Structure 1
Amino acid sequence: MIKLGSVALASTFILAACGSSNSSGKKTANIRESAELATMDQSKVTDVVGFTQLGNTEEGLYRIGKNNKIENAIATNTKVSDGGKTYTFTLRKGVKWSNGDEVTAKDFVYGWQRTVNPKTASQYAYIYSGIKNADKIASGKADYKTLGIKADGKYKLTVNLERPISYFKLLMGFPVFFPQNENAVNKYGSKYGTSASTTVYNGPYRMKGWTGSNLSWELVKNNTYWDKKNVKMDSLNWKVVKDAGTALNMYNSKKLDQTVLSSEQVKQYKSNKDYKKFLNASTFYIEFNQKKDKYFKNAKIREALSLAINRDQFVNKVLGDGSVAATGLTSAGLAKDAKTGKDFAKQVDVKSASEYNLKKAKTLMAEGLKEEGLKSIDFQLMSDDTTGAKQTTEFLQSAWEKIPNVKVSLSNIPFKNRLANSTAGKFDTVVTAWGADFSDPISFLQLFTSDNSQNNGKWSSKEYDNLINAANTTDASNTEKRWDDMVKAEQILLKDQGIAPLYQQGQSMLRRSNIKGIVYNSAGLNFDYKQMDVK
């Protein structure tokens, strides 16, 4: 997913969007984003802000339609053979990049190889696992050019897998698997994807006005896009507005066409005709830096901090935006057991990972401190600098300092900086999030294997690693065994309090009622604006 912050997803915030028609007759919209855009490089993006922009300016083999429906994009035909291990794609002719180059099979080969190349240092290279030689490339045992992808001429692409991947087609609609233009990457070098002018586009829109650090940019209709007749909007104007109050004022004065609401705003506007509510496949959680702060290796200390959080009070009183208390890592509603129909998140069911018990928290903290030879702990909690993020950290600070001998300071910094600090391990504890890249629990669970670059807290379990490996390899073709592997793995993570689940993100927003055609999916690319229209 995406870092929301994660995304990356991810992220750490899902976007807002909408529209109107101006006096010239052109269709345009003013869209609020609540965090900075970090990069437009498909090989380096990790967060929901970047994925949303890439998903609407670039295109791959498929687009993911409503309810996760696979729709042909650059691929016009797909043939699956060898027991689900070979995919042969016939590509659309005449698809153009914004620099005039034709999009061909070699662009996919180049883009995929660039992402898995260790020199690129892509945090998303792990998602290629299962494609022939991807794991060997990641471990330095094979050259990146041996990845199982081959161009057979300009319009035929063959992908070889090491095992059947049940969600493979869903991956093909995710920006990390989109083609890349080698001429553009070579031309701009290290500056590729760092601004609108150092990026090329083959999707419904082109980006204008993003310098790499500014807080506004524009997506304009891409007149070289192969399906431009189905793109109704002339432009989408993006504005980063971090303060919810400021954003609401802008909405009411018609400077924004959509805005995400704070809890207090929801109470006031939930009966408004423009009110909309979404529940995303994204989970916010707390990571403990076990490498930097050795006392966070103590499971009792981690569990004590988790037990001190009243999640129901938090989502109802602090957030109040439609979010729900998280019971685990994998978001509710993402996937169901094919045999029983039971939701994965409910099947995991580790109550101790998300319950509230301050008395037990105090006892466990005292025991943990004694085991570590400490009288107290004093650490920092890091998060973003938006209104909601600040309210979150203040709530957690208050909850944790109810435990004797615990002192917490806060660091609320820009989203881009928080991502960088998390990746570099420059934190004690951090509120982060992940949005599912596709509708399968593995999108969440593979984050916490010992060698995953997204595992910023460095929690580690050999048993967990073995179960995730089995789900991806030996049990990949056995639906029941694979499901059981994933259930057991998440139970291990939660019982050991490798993370502290916080909440599953919901969004309450105001969107102009005349805006139609935005495709929403809870996993992967959340908002697709290709068919957006203003009636």
Structure 2
Amino acid sequence: MKVKSIVKLGTVATLAAISLAACGTSSSSNKQAKNQTLNWMESSTLPTMDNSLATDVVSGETLNNTGEGLLKFGKNSSTHPGVAKSYTKSKDGKTYTFNLRKSNWSNGDKVTAQDFVYGWQRTVNPKTGSQYAYLYADVQNANAIMKGKKPVSTLGIKAVGDYKVKVTLVHPVSYFPTLVAQTAFFPQNETVVKKYGKKYATNAKNNVYNGAFKLTYWTGTSDNWTLTKNSKYWDAKKVKLHQIKFSAVKDPQTALSQYQSGKLDAIYLSGQQPKNYKNNKDYHARNSSRVTYIELNEKKDSMMRNRKARQALSLVLNRKQFVNKVMDDGSKVATGIVTSGLAIRNGKDFAKEGTIPAATEHNVAKAQKLWKEALKETGRKSYSLTLMADDTAQGKSTTEYVQSQWSKLDNFKVTNSNLPYKTRLSRSASGQFDAVVTLWGADFPDPITDLSLFTSDNSYNNGKWSNKTYDKLINEATTTNANKPAARWQNLIDAQKILLKDQGIIPVSQSGKPQLVKSKVKGVIYFPVSSNWDFSRAYIGK
């Protein structure tokens, strides 16, 4: 990434978004090619187009460009007007009033305040089964609704006429504007949702869109999907691309061949490719808030509930070797769940302040000792498990390396299972795994976006690790100390240290995002957080 800057969000400095004036080379010219079609690679297929159910980066990127929330991320990583042209905040910080512009869905229906009310209510409704419902925890009555104790109608969002939305929070939340820019907070057209029922958002036709583009081709299982400019979008005059054609290409060499032949305008690199192409004029290495970690299923097996066993599995890993020799793509060693550069306060990076070096060091002798003790304590002479991950090149490289390291532990057999992305997500969420390699990208620039995942009742806590002190610290950070920056920061630091000391997860690496992008691709906006890409101002230059 060529440009990096720090901006303030509340009391925390954050990674800035980058506007790629040329996405390759800068140019003072903005002359457009006749063919405004962008051919973009994804490493995995598109799992869903349901705002309430999407959990992955591919769905997020697609939803972010076919939909729009009250606010949206801009070039400097701060929030900018979306469907809401303006908003006000009460003196106590607990009430937000959003004034909506007149805009339309792709079928011509008006986008109204009620669409936001319905979308939010549908997401927090426990019957929907949204894993992202926890993001609403600070909205009045959301927690009670998610637990089935109150009706969805009591959620703290109200439509005041057609073009005004009033939101009531339980307590002030400094990063709330960044939350409403997330796809899980986008509006939903109730008529369309109910019309298609269980088939809603399962293909391109069974949905409507209020963003810069609309999805015009996607079968629900296809490796390709197409976005077309949405003529009904309120700012359509500024949208230059006619189409974006996405292709899921799992094999890195195939992707490179398609890039070189002109079939793809942008690809992700992996394996030896970043090293081989880092001096190419089309090469870009972007900062990322994405972390790779391993979850261990504590609910399924007593061995994984043994802290010594979990610690052994972490200590036997040589993370430096993994990022430098296996990945070699700009990835860094992960020393926690919060990535470096995500959150900085008073010049100090949370990732450094909130780590315990001993939890992620490489110490085979100590790992062996702990492993033998764990076997004895659980009444075992040997142990075996299956390590699950995606069937992408990165997923396979990761499982192969982890398997080689874990197999150094005495009487331990590791079997790898690399599955299609959608299948891996489903099995992770339903607890159908022994150990799983998970990739998580921060939704907004604050440590809580990562740390809240591992509270006992969080829907993303697939391994079911649980610690009462951890839960208490996260709760204090979001309630009692929500407006006490220093105390809140310390809560979060203490929480991550507990997560690491108890080895609730095994952090592996902070992902790099190496790409080749044709110099003709202009105006793409990249964010290290959230849905990553905004194509609403992109175009193909001459």
TM-score with structure 2 length normalisation? 0.93
2:519 aligns to what SS in structure 1? coil
Residue number among 465, 473, 481 corresponding to 1:467 in the alignment: 473
Q: How does 1:174-323 map to 2 (within 5 A)?
A: 174-323=182-331
1:364-384: CA deviation from partner (whole Å, max 9, x where unpaired): 101111111111111000000
Report how far residue 491 of structure 1 moved: 0.5
1:313-364: CA deviation from partner (whole Å, max 9, x where unpaired): 0011111111111000111111112xx3200110012112211111111111
Opposite residue 488 of structure 1, the aligned amino acid is D
Residue number among 97, 104, 118 corresponding to 1:96 in the alignment: 104
**Contact 1:353–1:501 at 8 Å: present in 2 too?**
no
1:185 aligns to what SS in structure 2? helix
Q: Which residue in 1 is equivalent to 2:378?
A: 372
Opposite residue 492 of structure 1, the aligned amino acid is I
1:378 aligns to what SS in structure 2? strand
Residue number among 144, 149, 153 corresponding to 1:136 in the alignment: 144
Report how far residue 209 of structure 1 moved: 1.4
Residue number among 85, 96, 101 corresponding to 1:87 in the alignment: 96
Distance 2:85 2:270 in 1: 43
Report how far residue 485 of structure 1 moved: 0.7
**Contact 2:35–2:540 at 8 Å: present in 1 too?**
no
1:419 aligns to what SS in structure 2? helix
Report how far residue 96 of structure 1 moved: 0.6
Q: Which residue in 1 is equivalent to 2:460?
A: 454
**Contact 1:263–1:319 at 8 Å: present in 2 too?**
yes
1:303 aligns to what SS in structure 2? helix
**Contact 1:18–1:30 at 8 Å: present in 2 too?**
no
Q: Which residue in 1 is equivalent to 2:13?
A: none
Opposite residue 87 of structure 1, the aligned amino acid is Y
1:130-163: CA deviation from partner (whole Å, max 9, x where unpaired): 1111111122221111000000100111000110
| Identity %, equivalent residues | 52
1:100-149: CA deviation from partner (whole Å, max 9, x where unpaired): 11001000000000101111111111000111111111222211110000
1:427 and 2:457 are equivalent in the alignment? no
**Contact 1:109–1:151 at 8 Å: present in 2 too?**
yes
Opposite residue 306 of structure 1, the aligned amino acid is S
Distance 2:163 2:216 in 1: 30
Report how far residue 407 of structure 1 moved: 0.6
1:157 aligns to what SS in structure 2? strand
Q: Which residue in 2 is equivalent to 1:6?
A: none
**Contact 1:284–1:501 at 8 Å: present in 2 too?**
yes
Q: Which residue in 2 is equivalent to 1:11?
A: none
Q: Which residue in 2 is equivalent to 1:41?
A: 50
Distance 1:75 1:404 in 2: 59
Opposite residue 80 of structure 1, the aligned amino acid is K
1:282-301: CA deviation from partner (whole Å, max 9, x where unpaired): 11100000011111000100
Opposite residue 532 of structure 1, the aligned amino acid is A
1:495 and 2:501 are equivalent in the alignment? yes
Distance 2:461 2:41 in 1: 30
Distance 1:66 1:397 in 2: 41
Distance 1:460 1:247 in 2: 41
- With over 3 angstroms needed to count, the CA separation of the structure-2 counterparts of 1:24 and 1:351, relative to structure 1, is closer
Opposite residue 280 of structure 1, the aligned amino acid is S
**Contact 2:522–2:539 at 8 Å: present in 1 too?**
yes
Opposite residue 378 of structure 1, the aligned amino acid is S
**Contact 1:206–1:220 at 8 Å: present in 2 too?**
yes
Residue number among 336, 341, 345 corresponding to 1:333 in the alignment: 341
Q: Which residue in 1 is equivalent to 2:83?
A: 74
**Contact 2:275–2:329 at 8 Å: present in 1 too?**
no
Residue number among 355, 360, 382 corresponding to 1:354 in the alignment: 360
Residue number among 325, 328, 332 corresponding to 1:324 in the alignment: 332
TM-score with structure 1 length normalisation? 0.94
**Contact 1:279–1:323 at 8 Å: present in 2 too?**
no
Distance 1:135 1:473 in 2: 13
2:436 aligns to what SS in structure 1? strand
2:205 aligns to what SS in structure 1? helix
Report how far residue 24 of structure 1 moved: 9.2
Opposite residue 482 of structure 1, the aligned amino acid is R
Q: Which residue in 1 is equivalent to 2:5?
A: none
Report how far residue 177 of structure 1 moved: 0.6
Distance 1:75 1:139 in 2: 30
For structure 1, the residue ranges without an aligned partner over 5 or more in a row are 1-16
1:400 and 2:406 are equivalent in the alignment? yes
Q: Which residue in 1 is equivalent to 2:62?
A: 53
Distance 1:141 1:24 in 2: 56
**Contact 1:18–1:31 at 8 Å: present in 2 too?**
no
Report how far residue 82 of structure 1 moved: 4.0
Report how far residue 218 of structure 1 moved: 0.6
Opposite residue 495 of structure 1, the aligned amino acid is K
Report how far residue 263 of structure 1 moved: 3.0
CA RMSD of aligned residues (A): 1.6
Distance 1:289 1:78 in 2: 43
1:168 and 2:176 are equivalent in the alignment? yes
Residue number among 385, 392, 411 corresponding to 2:391 in the alignment: 385
Opposite residue 119 of structure 1, the aligned amino acid is K
Distance 1:499 1:157 in 2: 39
Report how far residue 462 of structure 1 moved: 0.4
Q: How does 1:432-447 map to 2 (within 5 A)?
A: 432-447=438-453
1:119 aligns to what SS in structure 2? coil
Distance 1:480 1:287 in 2: 30
Report how far residue 261 of structure 1 moved: 1.0
Report how far residue 449 of structure 1 moved: 0.5
Report how far residue 70 of structure 1 moved: 1.4
Q: Displaced runs of 4+ in structure 1, greater than 3 A?
A: none
Number of residue pairs aligned between Structure 1 and Structure 2? 515
For structure 2, the residue ranges without an aligned partner over 5 or more in a row are 1-21, 25-29
Distance 1:478 1:388 in 2: 40
1:336 aligns to what SS in structure 2? strand
